[in-house]
Amino acid sequence: MEVRVQSVKFDAAQKLIDFTIKKVAKLGRFFDGIIAAEVTMSLTPDHDNKKVAVRLEIPGYDLRTEKQCRTFEEAVRQCVDVLKIQLKKTKEKMRGE
């Protein structure tokens, strides 16, 4: 699975990028057919919160979630948790359960 990380209007530290790639890559355990993942990080206008959007490309579907938290790491964790649930549901649908 290819993971692309994009930071909008700021330069993300390499440590943050590595953390994000590591967390998103773990989603491959729940669904084998993930083609690519695209992560977009941005600051909210008031700069108090950080926003992370994750889009997973899988055959027949695109799963997307967006979270806004105090830190990018927390937002990435929440997005990954939501996507785990979505992947499990998608996998069950594809099996016809």
Pairing outcome for strands 50-58 and 36-43: antiparallel
Question: CA angle at residue 65 from 7 to 73, to 5 degrees?
Answer: 50
H runs (alpha helix) in 1-97: 14-25, 72-95
pTM score of the predicted model: 0.92
Q: How many domains does the chain have?
A: 1
Which among 11, 87, 4, 65 has a CA at the least distance from the CA of 42? 11
Note the pLDDT of residue 48.
Answer: 85
The 10s digit of each residue's pLDDT in 57-87 is 998 889 999 999 999 999 999 999 999 999 9
Which residue range forms the structural domain that includes residue 24? 2-95
Which among 89, 54, 84 has a CA at the least distance from the CA of 72? 54
CATH number, domain with residue 40 = 3.30.160.100
